[in-house]
Amino acid sequence: MSIPTLRIGDLTATIPLVQGGMGVRVSLASLAAAVAEEGGIGTISSVGLGDLERGGRDYERVSQAALREEIRKARKMTDGILAVNFMGALSNVEDLVRATVEEGIRLVVFGAGLPMRLPSMVPDPGVHLVPIVSSARAAELILRAWAKRYQRTADAFILEGPLAGGHLGFSPTELQQPEDYTLDKLLPPLLDTVKPYEEKFEKRIPVIAAGGIYDGRDIARMLKLGAAGVQMATRFVCTWECDAAREFKEAYLNATEEDIVIIKSPVGLPGRALQNRFLQNLEAAGKQTVHCPYRCLTACKASEARFCIAKALLNAYRGDVEHGLIFCGQNAHRIHTIVSVKELIAELMDELRTALEENP
C-alpha cells in the first residue's frame, strides 16, 4: 500500500510528515533541510535567534537578520519544502513574518496564540497560512474572523494535543486529564469545523495531527482518523542533524518517564520539559533575578518573570543542560539512540507502510 502525500495548497510533500518547529534554535537550517530533503516538511523556528546577549536593544534587527540567514542556509541545502514557525507571543513577530516571506518561504506556521491578524501580515495568497490549534473552537474563531475580515481561509491546521513538547494550548487542569483530550477525540470535531469553510472557499483545508506521535503505527492511526499528515518534533531532537548540542540530545536519552514535568512559562502558558537542576533550583528559589535588555515576549515583565525563558532555552540548546530549560514531548523517555534524519524517516515510513497494509 502506498504512503499518501501531504498537500497544502499547491505544495506537495511526498510523505505525510512535518517536522515541528522547535524554538530557541533546536530546529534551524540543518534539521529542517534534512527533513525536507527526505520528502517531509522541514520547519525552522523563528524564536530566539541572533546573538541575544550582545544584541541588547538591537534584538529585533539582530533576530530578523539571523532568521534570514537560517532560511538562506537551508535553501542551499535542499529544494524540498521548508516552513517557518512563529510564536504569537513574540514582540517582533510581524517583522519576522515579513522577513520570512521576503526570503521566499511559502509556509507560515503560527502557534502560541490565535493568529487573528495573520492574513494582514501576509497578503500574498501564494503564501500558505497554517495556524496551530488545540481545539475545534480555536479553529472556528480563526476561520470565522479570517472569512469576515479578509475573505480568506486557512491553508491547513496543525492540531496539537496535550502530549506535545514545549508550550501547550491546554490549562494545567486539562493537562492532568490528557485522556479527555486525546488526538482521537480532538480530531473529528476539528474536521467537522473546517468542512463548511472548505466548501465556501472551494479548497481542501488539511488537518495535521501533532503531540505524542511516536511511530509509524501512530501515524497510520491519525491518517485513518482523517488527518492529512502528522507533525512530530521530539523524535527529531535525537537526530544527528538536530541543531541542539549533543548534551541536549543525551538528556532525552537519559530521561525516565518520571523526569517529564509540566512547568509554568513566562510566555503565560504551561510547557512540558525535563526535570533537572535548573528547575529544582528555580523551585527552591521561587524566582530568579531577570535582567532584560530586550523584550522578546509581549506578555513577559522582567521584574515579575520567574526566570528568563530565552536565556534558559539558549543554555539548554548550547549544552549547559544543568542551567537550561529542556523542552520535550511526553514520549522523550522512549528514545534510546541518536540516528540520522534519513534513518528515522525510513523507519517511520516502513512502520507506516506495514500498519497501512495490516489495517487498510
87 forms part of the interface with ligand FMN (CB under 6 A): yes
**Cα(125)–Cα(56) distance, integer angstroms:** 35
Among 30, 63, 64, 85, binds ligand FMN (CB under 6 A): 85
* Nearer Cβ to ligand FMN (198/322): 322
**Cα(158)–Cα(77) distance, integer angstroms:** 26
Among 9, 13, 17, 21, binds ligand FMN (CB under 6 A): 21
- Least separation in angstroms between residue 199's CB and ligand FMN is 28
Phi, psi (deg, nearest 5) at residue 329: -90, 170
Q: How many residues bind ligand FMN (CB under 6 A)?
A: 28
* Binding characters for ligand FMN, 102-121, by CB under 6 A (x = yes): ---------x----------
- Least separation in angstroms between residue 179's CB and ligand FMN is 16
Name the grid cell of 230. 502528522
329 forms part of the interface with ligand FMN (CB under 6 A): yes
**Cα(147)–Cα(78) distance, integer angstroms:** 34
Q: Among 28-36, 51-59, 226-234, 341-349, which window interacts with ligand FMN (CB under 6 A)?
A: 226-234
- Least separation in angstroms between residue 168's CB and ligand FMN is 9
Q: What's the DSSP call for residue 297?
A: B
Q: Which of 87, 126, 21 is nearest to 299 (CA)?
A: 87
Task: Please report, in angstroms and rounded to a whole number, the separation of the first and last CA atoms in the chain.
Answer: 8
Phi, psi (deg, nearest 5) at residue 6: -120, 115
348 forms part of the interface with ligand FMN (CB under 6 A): no
- Least separation in angstroms between residue 263's CB and ligand FMN is 13
Opening angle at CA 183, ends 14 and 32, nearest 5: 35
Q: HSE on the CB side for 337, CA within 13 Å?
A: 5
Q: Among 69-77, 142-150, 299-307, 323-331, which window interacts with ligand FMN (CB under 6 A)?
A: 323-331
Q: What is the 3-state secondary structure (H, E, C) of 142-192?
A: HHHHHHHHHCCCCCCEEEECCCCCEECCCCHHHHCCHHHHCHHHHHHHHHH
* Binding characters for ligand FMN, 272-311, by CB under 6 A (x = yes): ----------------------------------------
* Nearer Cβ to ligand FMN (111/229): 111
Please tell me whether residue 84 adopts helix, strand or coil conformation: strand
CA dist 340 to 58, 139, 163, 186, Å?
Answer: 36, 35, 24, 32
Among 234, 239, 265, 276, binds ligand FMN (CB under 6 A): 234
* Binding characters for ligand FMN, 157-196, by CB under 6 A (x = yes): ---x--xxxx------------------------------
Footprint on residues 38-67 left by ligand FMN (CB under 6 A): 45, 47
Residues that bind ligand FMN (CB under 6 A): 20-23, 26, 45, 47, 85, 87, 111, 132, 160, 163-166, 210-213, 231-234, 327-329, 331
